[in-house]
Amino acid sequence: MVTRGLRIWFVVHFIADILFALPLFVAPEFTLGLFGWTAVDPVTTRLVAAALFGIGIESLLGRKGDVEAFRAMLNLKIIWSSAAVVGFVWCLAEGAPSMVWGFLAIFVAFNILWVTYRLMLRGAS
């Protein structure tokens, strides 16, 4: 059974993803400049924004799905957030701007949330 709390978190995740994706997509240099990036690749930034749009919008669209749909989305969210955590740690080790610590914290928190819910759905049918 999919809990109401998980469905609400999917909506929260949609909002968070869209709030980050829109400025990254529309004004990548300006947006990342606010966070201390001095060299910005707009293609890569817009690609990240596209991933955020995709995952976030699917979170909203799929919030009323069944257990199998939530398992699949949680798997995707866990893979995405785990890879992001590894990437952020790697970048910090190479001297990334200090704001990356904030992004790392956000992705770690979401990863813990998604893994917790995925474990709860492990035996659900």
pLDDT at 108 over 70: yes
- Write down the pLDDT at residue 121: 93
Domain parsing of the chain, residue ranges: 4-120
Collapsed DSSP state (helix, strand, coil) of residue 74:
helix
pLDDT at 125 over 70: no
- Write down the pLDDT at residue 72: 95
- DSSP label at 98? T
Q: What is the pTM of this model?
A: 0.90
- Region 66-81: what's the mean pLDDT? 96
Contact by Cβ (8 Å): 48, 37: no
Collapsed DSSP state (helix, strand, coil) of residue 69:
helix
- Single-letter residue type at 85: V
pLDDT at 123 over 80: no
- pLDDT, mean over the chain: 94
